Structure 1
Amino acid sequence: MLQNTLEVSVVKNLDFIESGVHICVVANQVVPNLAPILDRNLKAKRVVLVHTADFLQKAKDLASAYSNYQVKTEFFKIQSAFDIVSLRKDMQRLFNFYAEQKPLINITGGTKIISLTMFEKAKEYELPVYYVNTDDSLSWLVPDVESVYHLEDRVKIKPFLTANGFEVVVNELPSSNKLLRQVLDDLIANIDGYKEAISQLNYYAYTASSSLKSVSLSENVEGLRKLVGLFAETGLMKIENNKLIFKDEDARFFANGGWLEEYLFHQIKQLGSKIPKIQDNLCAVEVCKKTNSVKNEIDNMLLCNNNLYLIECKTKRFSKDQSPEGGVSSAIYKLDTLMRELGGTFARGMIVSIFELSKADYARAKQYNIKIVSLSELKDIKRHLTSWLS
């Protein structure tokens, strides 16, 4: 006969895990159903995803993400997320079918009443129960474990986006050219003096979109000539017959703002040894929702402690339009939307601009959990990134 209560005992290890089966409830937040499944100590081989009809697509997205790690999926539909009578019947069916397999029960997702009815049944069948905390740790409710368990950070960006219903369409690989990285370091160190020349470089790179050859340079471009000279040894661009000539389309993209994206990528990569919680880092990413063809571009994105961080890089001046559709406000609202769609509640954003932004811009961005780094602050970008990621 099954007991209604469990004897309380403190467990110091995970020897109580007898199975590779986890039962999870599908919800909007994917990390609680992704991070524990990828933790090798929790031994997941198969996941049963409990879902209502409204969350079937979300369940399928999670299953697609699991497949990247050779974890199999089964689906279990419940009729209601709120009706207690219906839920108790569904939970009885669920545990009648799976209890003998000694599954681990994840009660993090779903409505509170789903969590309570699952916990009620799990205790009845003496099965391990866990809850994933917002700080990415895991607490065991059954058995009584004396401390929280810190999950492995094994999630990568592409499976993370897959679980959220997106796929990576394009991901540009940044250059590994050491000379180029040195040039970028010199550029950032003197960013105050180069900002106007960078603005001119953006313009002439834009005019070269069809032929890799810009329109003729105007007379007052001494700063631009000096900037192009800085890149001369890299072979990406040169001035010939008073026109700016680019080596190829990648070089033109680089000159038209791509250099800042690449600089940020390498700064984050270097931080990896100091911040081991950084799991993944991508540059020049284009993502598309699986259910439509609308594409979104993200300059830099990284996963740190299973949370998504998005960075928007700006080498052009923002317009002075103060309306929600213009200027810095537009960039803030766009980034906020992407944060919520791609990363959920705990996603964070950053806008990096080579031009100085106003105190009002900083205050507006802060309201949306977006950090701004502008102009001379770029010289200390690693400190700003470290503070942001902590």
Structure 2
Amino acid sequence: MNNNTEKPIMMVCIASGQTMQNLLPALYLNPVKLSVICSENVKSTSSFEYLKRVIANITPNINVEKVNLSEESPNWEQVQTFANPCFKHFKDKYNEFRLILNITGGTKIMSASMLSSWQALGLEAFYCHTGKTVTLEWLNQHKSTEQSFKQQSPLLNIEHYLNAHGYELIDKNWKNNHRAKVKQALKNKEITHKLSNYAAKNSNEKNYFGKINTAAERKLNKNISPKEQQKPISGALKNDLLPLYQFLTKQQLLSYKEINNNGKTFVEHQFKDEATAKFLNGFWVEDYLTNILQELEQENIIAPECWASGIKIKIEGSKDEYAQNELDVAILSRNRLLIIECKSSHLENQDPINKLLMLKEKGGGLFGEAWILSAKNPKQEFVSRANVFKIKVFSMQAFTDIKQTLKAWVLGEKIQNSEETDQPLNAMQLALQKLQKQ
């Protein structure tokens, strides 16, 4: 690594499907000019556009330009044919600059071939590692040295990260709206913590909140008559449910009555209003998690700009409503994104897994992670499928420890308490299992 830091920097990088390995070094080294080499590959071109826009949003000091490599998957000779004259031009034109090549992007052939051409001119190059810290491995013909950057404050916020991966936030006022949601969740803190305690205490029950969920869904269903909306739920209240119902009655959120009809017991539910029905049907899990994250923010474990709840996003530039999504909770730490889906029902189908898989792979980037926090114990098949796609599932028994679990993730420590199969099923086993049931 050259110790001459007085010269302005001109950086060259290679666009690829991953934007962070080009974005982070640019933000740390702050070059005057960033030249991005793009092949004809669609991912490469998209990555350049994402990179250019997010840098413009963060700092106006970096001039970003595109350099076209007119091949989609160039071989060694094609890269050399492009790189030799291009890099010599850079050296001649920017001889007053400190020229640096970032070889992290592109294919292995592109990176190696460009490194060969670059080093032949006696110029500096590095490879970017993004672990707990961002480390630049400076390369030369004899040995490599490492330079790590410790962040005093986050380089990126949630919006920057999502922009860098091709998403835009639908709500441009998301920061203020997020803070409003935090205040609302704080009002419900006693209730949500009590509900989480009931969930953890009764974690052996398959569907502890089942009656309330069913009654709330009927209340909210506009496609049925008012009489059907108020239809009692079959089955008497078990003893372990009475404290929950008594607590909700005391909080004036719910009134209930057991009735007998032809020797069968039913339970009538009367919610305070539709908002309360939504809250008890699962929104409380998101509020509970929001309160936990607010506590971690107050303890300086997580920065205010590095988490948000209930943010709506869409694929950049798309007008298709199916390209829109909502993130229940998103957390940014160690330059990687964690997306959490909060559930209290509807774990019978694979929709939560499919949604998170898509968001994790596109919006999360190379190191993106996804969790499901569920107030209902999922079936083993659901957990197995989630494990296949490296999605962690935290069910009722994990509620009391979720704060420590989140803290561990933010700090890069080992995660425990998630639902895992002893031997996760692979995709083929899941397909065969499904066929056997048909």
Q: TM-score range by the shorter chain?
A: 0.7 to 0.9
State how far apart, in whole Å, the 1-side matches of 2:388 and 2:333 are: 22
Aligned to 2:35: 48
Aligned to 2:220: 206
Q: Aligned to 1:29, what secondary structure does the other structure show?
A: coil
Q: Aligned to 2:18, what secondary structure does the other structure show?
A: coil
Q: Aligned to 2:114, what secondary structure does the other structure show?
A: helix
Distance 1:362 1:185, change over 3 A: same
Superposed CA offset, 1:67-104 (max 9, x none) = 11123311100123423333223223432333223232
Superposed CA offset, 1:313-360 (max 9, x none) = 1111433xxxxxxx2x34223321221121233211111111112444
Aligned to 2:148: 149
Aligned to 1:7: none
Q: Is the CA contact 1:35–1:155 (under 8 Å) kept in the aligned structure 2?
A: no
Q: Is the CA contact 2:213–2:345 (under 8 Å) kept in the aligned structure 1?
A: yes
Distance 1:360 1:208, change over 3 A: closer
Q: Aligned to 2:104, what secondary structure does the other structure show?
A: coil
Aligned to 2:286: 261
Superposed CA offset, 1:183-231 (max 9, x none) = 2112211225662464256325524799xxx944748789675354464
Aligned to 1:23: 12
TM-score normalised by length of structure 1: 0.79
TM-score normalised by length of structure 2: 0.71
Q: Aligned to 1:343, what secondary structure does the other structure show?
A: coil
Q: Is the CA contact 1:300–1:310 (under 8 Å) kept in the aligned structure 2?
A: yes
Aligned to 2:338: 309
Where structure 2 has 5 or more consecutive residues not aligned to the other structure, the ranges are 203-207, 257-268, 413-438
State how far apart, in whole Å, the 2-side matches of 1:188 and 1:341 are: 31
1:17 Cα deviation (Å)?
6.5
1:99-118 → structure 2 map (5 Å cutoff) = 99=91, 100=94, 101-118=97-114
Of the candidates 188, 193, 199, which is equivalent to residue 185 of structure 1?
Answer: 193
Superposed CA offset, 1:159-193 (max 9, x none) = 22212221111455223254422321122112256
State how far apart, in whole Å, the 2-side matches of 1:203 and 1:270 are: 31
Runs (4+) of structure 1 exceeding 6 A deviation are: 219-222
Matched, 1:138 2:135: yes
Of the candidates 52, 75, 85, which is equivalent to residue 83 of structure 1?
Answer: 75
State how far apart, in whole Å, the 1-side matches of 2:108 and 2:47 are: 19
Of the candidates 174, 182, 188, which is equivalent to residue 175 of structure 1?
Answer: 182
1:238 Cα deviation (Å)?
6.7
Superposed CA offset, 1:8-45 (max 9, x none) = xx77xx64473243211101111101212222xx1234
Distance 1:354 1:330, change over 3 A: same
State how far apart, in whole Å, the 2-side matches of 1:23 and 1:291 are: 27
Matched, 1:244 2:265: no
Q: Is the CA contact 1:51–1:78 (under 8 Å) kept in the aligned structure 2?
A: yes
State how far apart, in whole Å, the 2-side matches of 1:254 and 1:196 are: 14
Q: Is the CA contact 1:128–1:141 (under 8 Å) kept in the aligned structure 2?
A: yes
Where structure 1 has 5 or more consecutive residues not aligned to the other structure, the ranges are 1-9, 320-326
Aligned to 2:205: none
More displaced, 377-386 or 140-149?
140-149
1:128 Cα deviation (Å)?
2.5
1:1-390 → structure 2 map (5 Å cutoff) = 15-16=4-5, 18-39=7-28, 42-54=29-41, 55-69=44-58, 70=60, 71-80=62-71, 81-99=73-91, 100=94, 101-135=97-131, 136-142=133-139, 146-150=145-149, 152=151, 153-170=154-171, 171=174, 173=178, 174-177=181-184, 178-191=186-199, 192=201, 195-196=209-210, 198-200=212-214, 202-203=216-217, 206-207=220-221, 215-216=229-230, 218=232, 226=246, 228-229=248-249, 231-232=251-252, 243-246=270-273, 253-272=278-297, 273=299, 275=301, 280-292=306-318, 293=320, 294-319=323-348, 327=349, 329-389=350-410, 390=412
Q: Is the CA contact 1:188–1:378 (under 8 Å) kept in the aligned structure 2?
A: yes
Distance 1:230 1:312, change over 3 A: farther
State how far apart, in whole Å, the 1-side matches of 2:52 and 2:277 are: 40
Q: Aligned to 2:347, what secondary structure does the other structure show?
A: coil
Q: Aligned to 1:352, what secondary structure does the other structure show?
A: strand
One-letter code of the match for 1:268? L
